[in-house]
Amino acid sequence: MQSKAFIDRLDGIVSRGWAQIREGNFWRLVESQGLDRELCKLTLQQIYHYTKHNSINQAVAAYGTDPQQMDLLRFVYRHANEELGHEQMVVTDVRSLGLDHPGMWDEPPLPPTQALISYLYYVALEMGAIARLGYSYWAEDAYDHIGPLLFTARRDLRLSDRNMTFFVAHSKIDAKHSVEVREMIERHATTEKHQDAVAQVAETSLYLTGAILDGVAHAYRKLSETSQDRPAVSTL
């Protein structure tokens, strides 16, 4: 398949994936009641968990990559370095909103978040850097899709750029990465096997990301039910 046709195929996969996410529980919850502090906190907590692994699983992808593909390996090493420590932006944002609590970052990720983290290590170790480009393809170019969520967060929580350093900084960094990822796909995903692997990783990783968001919605509803069931404390 020619590179233009394959990029069109990838774009179709990504569009369908985001359409499914918009039909999910998290998106419907935000559309129906907006984004409050607790829902924002739970979401950022999961973003922290998988983001802190992205630099590592990107670097690990070099393990399954042909040493002769030096330009691809340079991309992998450079990209891994540029992703290092980005989870600390999430920590900064949470603190700026006064949402942090002791031990927050040591709490285990939700099951769907664990699934995405594990899946990306599997891709890196078993499939290599070309296949992992499927994740990078949509993740580095997600801002048009998550724009409505960011708008809702700004509106409901009165956020400024100071409270959204993870998203503001990433929108600039990822614009550059998106171009590089597309170049790597066009240059290296030239066989049917590689193209199928890239497409599979794009579809699966986006599906798991939607599952993370719906997992957040489920955890939020459980917390809401618990707080409602808790008896009121008498002040008399």
- pLDDT score at 225: 82
Which candidate, 185, 181, 187, places its Cα nearest to that of 196?
185
What are the phi and psi torsion angles at 16 (to 5°)? -65, -35
Question: CB–CB of 124/57 below 8 Å?
Answer: yes
- pLDDT tens figures, 39-93: 999 999 999 999 999 999 999 999 989 899 999 999 999 999 999 999 999 999 9
What are the extents of the domains in the chain? Answer: 3-225
Structure tokens at 102: 């002791």
Q: Rounded to two decimals, what is the model's pTM? A: 0.91
pLDDT at residue 169 in the model? 73
Q: How far is CA 122 from the centre of its chain?
A: 17
Distance CA 108, CA 86 (A): 19
**Torsion, CA 110, CA 108, CA 155, CA 18, rounded to 10:** -30
| Contact between residue 64 and residue 126 where contact means Cβ atoms under 8 Å apart | yes
Q: What is the CATH number of domain 3-225?
A: 1.20.910.10
Angle at 7 between CA 86 and CA 50, to 5 degrees: 20
- Stretches where the chain sits below pLDDT 70 are 1-2, 170-175, 227-236
Q: Which two tokens stand for residue 83?
A: 């992703």
